[in-house]
Amino acid sequence: MRTYDNPILEALPKHLQRYVVDQNYDRYSAMDQAIWRYVMRQNYAYLKDYAFYPYIPGLTKAGLTIERIPDLQEMNDSLKRIGWGAVTVDGFIPPAAFMEFQANCVLVIAADIRQMEHIEYTPAPDIIHESSGHAPIIGEPEYAAYLQYFGEVGSKAMSSGKDFQLYEAIRHLSIVKEREDATQEEIDSATKAFEEIANNMGEPSEMALLSRLHWWTVEYGLIGSVEDHKIYGAGLLSSIGESVSCMQPEVTKLPYSLETITYSYDITKPQPQLFVTPDFQHAHAVLEEFADGMAFRTGGIAGLRKAIDSGQVSTVQLSSGLQVSGVFEHFISDTEAFAIKTTGPTALAFEGKEIKGQGKKHHPDGFSSPLGELLGQKKSLEDCTDTDLQAMGLEIGKFCTLYFKSGILVSGQLDAMVRERDKLLILTFSDCTVVHEPSNKTLFQPEWGVFDMAVGDTISSVFAGAADKFAFDPEVSVSSTKTEKIVRTQAQLDLFSIYGQIREIRRSEVETGTLEELVQEVINHHPEDWLALVELYELSVFNGDTANTKRIKDSLMKKAEQKPDLHKLIVDGLRIAETQPINLELVK
């Protein structure tokens, strides 16, 4: 993975690096550059009055320009000065991974750019949304702190088994909608599949609820008061359509609070309501209120059940501080958890660091252990000193017995123990038998090898992912559905060539004769295109060519009349060309 000489990216965990793809700057055609430029010119003209005040100066702080699609090296050169970095990925990535990138102060940027047909808004993540939407506000310290802390909380959120199904459906739908050659049948099929899953999710998971808070703040948030507010959400800042429509009274504005988690959202449609936070401290307080009810803070059997339901690698932390990371499965339990069991590779850690000899190689097929208090003992096993253990008959090299209040009996030779910070974490037995006497069920037999018993009375925390991600290095589930690359027709390639010539003209002396030839070629051979004419109109206005400007404007207005869905785009393009002259010095 390329790190762009940015220390933030150099420290990125390996399991996150797998999502990163090369930006491959040559992928962007001259038409792509024109799409970026159109959106940014519109945004600059409008958002200087309606965006949260750090947005405009933040464009420069983030290494962005109006003239061209950002290069990740330039972005990282700028972002690393404020302790952040940026990487490119292929479209949507799972929410848990997205949050973890954010926790590591890394912006995830979709490498592709939207089609002309979706220039106002696209449901698929693209470089316009991710860079021009998210990056400029990061220069505001309070927002950057909120964003990073949200990532920390989000990276611990438990997902349900259906969350990943929904992610795949959303990813597939966004890819299909952004494809130039997608048929209506394909779009309808992808939409139906998404809706079927979305409408049958059951009780929303922690991640699903947290995603709503993220959506209504980071993506679609307003700041100020219900009566007087500005835009700071990246989804709005990067949409030249919704950034305008969202400020209309028809879109309900509500105070931002924890009740926001009851509002779901549809990424394919304009939002019917938005939420206004007075400041980022308030948004932080709402996040903190939600976090207080999450499994990473509450633990218990409810947290364990969330880990089981997720079907993904999770960590159960015991009251002793021992952390067990693996895929948890159903085991004996009642009103409280008195045993845990994983399947597949499992690791034991303490304070986020894997305990020596207790990694996946030692526990390749799973791990199980009783929990809870011992029968007849007032002191918790985790708090026992060596003297306490000797009084209980627990000495290295001797055969001993532990009887739990839950009815689990552990008998074997004690071979070793692990302590950290005066807490007993692990007892290792050989020739060991573990039996649940109430059910007469054998849980461990001597021929299975050594038995590492986790020590802990209760489950204090449950969170997504491994405790020591660097050591555990889980097999990341990267979607097999990739953003599709379109094979271009000759007519499209010819049009790209025209855009390339227009771009080169802006880098050199403007030649009236060349402009007239290009205008004629677009009008005669590419009647469906309007953006090239807007670019040529800008150059003609700059050059003072009144005859050419009239001809282009007449052609564009005719298109606007024939295609009402283009009317606003064309009129806005003409207005910006007339009121915001291009700066050829900046282009050079």
CA 303, CA 293: separation in Å to the nearest integer? 10
Statement: residue 92 has pLDDT above 80:
no
Share of the chain above pLDDT 70, in %: 92
**Which stretch of DSSP H or E encloses residue 100?**
helix 95-103
Residues 474, 15: contact at Cβ < 8 Å?
yes
H/E element, 409: strand 408-420
| Phi, psi of 247, deg, nearest 5 | -85, -5
Between 59-68, 164-173, 245-254, the lowest mean confidence (pLDDT) is in 164-173
Q: What is the pLDDT of residue 545?
A: 87
Q: Which residues are annotated as a binding site?
A: 129, 134, 219
What does the pLDDT read at residue 506?
81
Quick one: which of 360, 356, 329, 368 has its CA closest to 475? 360
Query: What pLDDT score was predicted for residue 95?
Result: 81
Band (201; pLDDT cuts 50, 70, 90): low
Q: Which two tokens stand for residue 142?
A: 């309070």
Mean pLDDT of 480-503: 76
* Structure tokens belonging to residue 132: 């021009």
Query: Which residue type is seen at 333?
Result: S
pLDDT tens by residue, 429-468: 999 999 999 888 899 999 999 999 999 999 999 999 999 9
CB-CB contact of 340 with 368 (8 Å): yes
CB atoms within 10 A of CB 547: 10
Lowest-pLDDT range of 8-17, 268-277, 508-517: 508-517
pLDDT tier at 587 (50, 70, 90 boundaries)? very low
Contacts of 188 (CB under 8 A, 6+ apart): none
Sheet holding 106-110, edge to edge: 20-21, 85-89, 106-110
Cα–Cα distances in angstroms (integers) from residue 371 to residues 301, 363, 409, 512, in the given order: 12, 18, 11, 82
pLDDT higher than 80, residue 268 = no
SS3 424: strand
pLDDT tens-digit readout, 276-330: 999 999 999 999 999 999 999 999 999 999 999 888 899 999 999 999 999 999 8
Please give the angle made by the CA atoms of 317, 17 and 465, to the nearest 5 degrees: 15
Q: Is 344 exposed, middle or buried (0-12, 13-18, 19+ CB in 10 A)?
A: middle
The residue with greater pLDDT, 181 or 532, is 532
Q: Find the range with the poorest average confidence among 1-15, 16-30, 67-81, 176-190.
A: 176-190
Q: Which two tokens stand for residue 116?
A: 């002309």
Which structure tokens are listed for 137? 């506000």
Average predicted confidence (pLDDT) for the chain: 89
61 token code pair: 């702080």
Confidence (pLDDT) at 490: 82
What share of the chain has pLDDT > 90, as a percent?
A: 68
Indicate the annotated binding residues for Fe cation. Answer: 129, 134, 219
Give the model confidence (pLDDT) of 358-376 as tens digits: 999 999 999 999 999 999 8
d(CA 413, CA 505): 83
Confidence of residue 487 (pLDDT cuts 50, 70, 90): low
Contacts 24+ apart (CB under 8 A), 21-26: 21/88, 21/89, 21/90, 21/111, 22/88, 22/111, 23/71, 23/72, 23/88, 23/111, 24/111, 25/69, 25/71
pLDDT band at 229 (very low <50, low <70, confident <90, very high): very high
483: confidence class by pLDDT, cuts 50, 70, 90: low
- Neighbour-count burial of 520, counting CB atoms closer than 10 A to its CB (0-12 exposed, 13-18 middle, 19+ buried): exposed
Comparing C-alpha atoms, which of 187, 182, 255, 196 is closest to residue 221? Answer: 255
Q: Tell me what pLDDT residue 586 has.
A: 43
Report the pLDDT value the prediction gives residue 588, as an integer from 0 to 100: 41
pLDDT per residue as tens digits for the range 417-428: 999 999 999 999
Cβ-contact 253, 229 below 8 angstroms:
yes
Q: SS3 for 351-368, per residue?
A: CCEECCCCCCCCCCCCCE
What is the per-residue pLDDT for 573? 94
Q: pLDDT band at 512, cuts 50/70/90?
A: low
Position 295 scores a pLDDT of 97
Name the token pair of 572. Answer: 């806005």
Q: Which residue has the higher pLDDT, 177 or 77?
A: 77
Strands (E), 26-183: 85-89, 106-110
Q: What sign does the dihedral 193-194-198-201 (CA atoms) show?
A: positive
**Residues 6 or more apart in contact with residue 367 via CB below 8 angstroms:** 324, 326, 340, 341, 342, 346, 348, 452, 454
Alpha carbon 436 to chain centroid distance?
43
DSSP bridge pairs for 349: 323, 354
CA distances from 245 to 51, 251, 254, 274, 536 (A): 14, 8, 16, 12, 28
Tally of CB atoms within 10 A around 5:
11
pLDDT tens track for 111-140 = 989 888 888 877 677 899 889 989 999 989
When mean pLDDT is compared across 196-200, 337-341, 401-405, the lowest value belongs to 196-200
Per-residue model confidence as pLDDT tens digits over 163-174:
767 767 767 776
In this structure, the strands spanning 252-255 and 273-277 are: parallel
For 438, phi then psi, to 5°, come to -60, -30
Report the greatest alpha carbon distance in the chain.
102
Which two three-digit tokens encode residue 26? 């040559």
Is pLDDT of 521 > 70? yes
> What is d(CA 256, CA 285) in angstroms, rounded to the nearest whole number?
11
Question: Residue 199 pLDDT more than 80?
Answer: no
Per-residue pLDDT band for 393 (boundaries 50, 70, 90) equals very high
Rg (CA), the chain: 29
Structure tokens at 268: 């394919």
Query: Of residues 492 and 317, which shows the higher confidence score?
Result: 317
Give how far Cα 50 sits from Cα of 54, 63, 108, 304, Å. 11, 21, 25, 46
CA distance 564 to 558: 10
Which of 428, 468, 424 lies closest to 325 in space, CA to CA? 468
Signed CA dihedral, 369, 374, 380, 382: sign only: negative
pLDDT of residue 73: 96
